[in-house]
Amino acid sequence: MKTLQGRHCNLLRMALSNGSNSSEIMQQTFYPLRKGSIHGSVIPDFKQWQKMLHEDKDKFTGDHLVSKYDSLKIIKHLQENWMDIGLGIFGRHKSMEGEMPPERQYMEEIAKSIGRLYKEFKIRINGDNGISKILPSLISSLESCSFKLENLLVFPEMLLEEWEGINGKINEMKSQLDALLNIIGTVPQYIDMDSGSVLQANIYNMIQQWLLKIGNEINNGNIELQRHMDELHISMIQWMVNFLILMVPDFTDQDTLPNVEEECAEKHDIGVAELELDAIALARKLSQYSSYLSSCCRGMVTAMALSIASRSKKNPRKELRELQKMKKECYEWITTCSHLLSGIKGREINLLTHEEKAHLFEEEDILKEFLEPERDKPSKENEEESKEDKKLGEEKEEKKAEEKLSTSTEKEKLIRFIGEDENVHTKPLFETDVLSSWRESANQGTLAQKYIEAMAIIERTQEKLIEVESRARQAEEKFEDVNETLHYTLIRNKELEKELEEMLIKSREKESERGEEEENEEKKKKKKKKKKKK
């Protein structure tokens, strides 16, 4: 539209410039206007120009204006969707402190520039930049000129004043066309700032830079996320290994003296205190990190669930359950550590405060509306699993009753010993291992499943430690073999170096002997020459 209007105005101005020159000549010579003359052909041109200007004027009214508004609304809607997507991306990549990436502020600056460009387009579409005011006056001036020229065809004689009036109208139209050429494609309200094509190019460059920055930010965020996860996994494994090392008794070798009981007790207490401090710090990190991940993914998962529920009848709660499962697993690991520490210290230990627990599960109320309907309608598989669990529970109870009957008939052999408090105590002669008491309490308590899982983890880690010890021994044996071969190779290298030195010395002696022989031969030759001369 901008280029078409510019072409029309340029053509019209050039024609009016030529017409004004010819009108001045006609004014000076009082040349009568006739149908067959050159100036008579101006009237059809004026008619054509009127038609073009009317078409341009119609573009600012009616259906043309409505269609332009519709296309502008579509563009604005796409831009708003783009902004929403960008905000969603930033919400998933915020920092641990809840701060948004700096690219969000850059995106807001882009949005401001786009809003200003949108206002400019709206002004240009309405013609409020001055075109809608100049076009009607230009059309009226053109119509008055063409009307006077048509009258001259009927009444060829024209006074000088009428020629001056036509010339003034033509000059007025020229000035109006100059104003139109300056206004087309611009907005006078924003003339001091970047506008039009300059602002549009600036926005394109800003968007390209923003895409590069956000790509780098996402890659760096993913790397940082992986690093935090690795650190947490290493810390969790290290804590379990330290716990196992503390629980396993110290066995001394034949060549070393056993440690004093007081020293062993002191080391044990120090180890338990260190485990408790590490567990508190690790529990806080886990709760903070799980809450952070949940807050980052909650909006995306909720949107996915809503879209799945609206499009199809499939179960939209899978992603929500996975998100909630992550926090529950972290909390179960923390509670397992607290139960293990409570068993060692003999008193209840809570690694998280009530406020931290509430903060950890504050988002579950939002997800209940998706999860509660599913709980009300259990599937067939869940019903079958519940029946199987009931059968297994009944079988376990029967076995326990039989074991109690068998153990009650047998008499346990007891021994008496002096304890640390210098008092006499009794204990069974065939005492079970320490872990069996944990298994019994786990089977009797309400948190049986968590205790069983903890014991399974401990047994697996024990097996892994044994494997690591065997690998370490094999590595030590290989190291000794390699060390011996290295020692032999060093000795062999020294022998070879000595042989090389001897060979070098011999070669140097031979070279010196050859040099002496050559000198002697030269001396003899010189003596013979002297004798011949004499």
Secondary structure of the chain: what % helix, strand, coil (to 5)?
80, 0, 15
pLDDT at res. 105: 86
> What is the value of pTM for the model shown?
0.48
CA distances from 244 to 265, 271, 344, 464, 466 (A): 16, 11, 12, 11, 12
Provide the number of structural domains found in the chain.
Answer: 1
Sorted by sequence, the CB contacts under 8 Å of residue 183 that are 6+ apart come out as 129, 130, 131, 134
Higher pLDDT, 162 or 210: 210
How far, in Å, CA of 482 to CA of 488, rounded?
A: 10
In the predicted structure, residue 527 carries a pLDDT above the cut 80 = no
Instruction: Name the token pair of 483.
Output: 């060390």
Q: Is residue 70 part of a domain?
A: yes
Q: Is residue 130 part of a domain?
A: yes
Q: Is residue 202 part of a domain?
A: yes
Q: Which domain holds residue 206?
A: 2-213
Mean pLDDT of the region 267-294:
84
Q: What is the pLDDT of residues 44-84, one digit of tens each?
A: 777 777 777 777 776 776 677 677 778 888 888 888 888 88
Q: Is residue 383 part of a domain?
A: no
Using DSSP's 3-state secondary structure scheme, residue 37 falls into coil
Instruction: Name the token pair of 122.
Output: 């709206």
CB 427 within 8 A of CB 415: yes
Q: Is residue 88 part of a domain?
A: yes
Q: What is the pLDDT of residues 353-389, one digit of tens each?
A: 777 777 776 655 544 544 444 444 444 444 554 555 5
CB 287 within 8 A of CB 272: no
Q: Reduce the secondary structure of 106-151 to three states and give it as a string.
A: HHHHHHHHHHHHHHHHHHHHHCCCCHHHHHHHHHHHHHHHHHHHHH
In the predicted structure, residue 338 carries a pLDDT above the cut 80 = yes
pLDDT at res. 28: 38
Q: Is residue 289 part of a domain?
A: no
Q: Is residue 377 part of a domain?
A: no
CB 5 within 8 A of CB 56: yes
Q: Is residue 480 part of a domain?
A: no
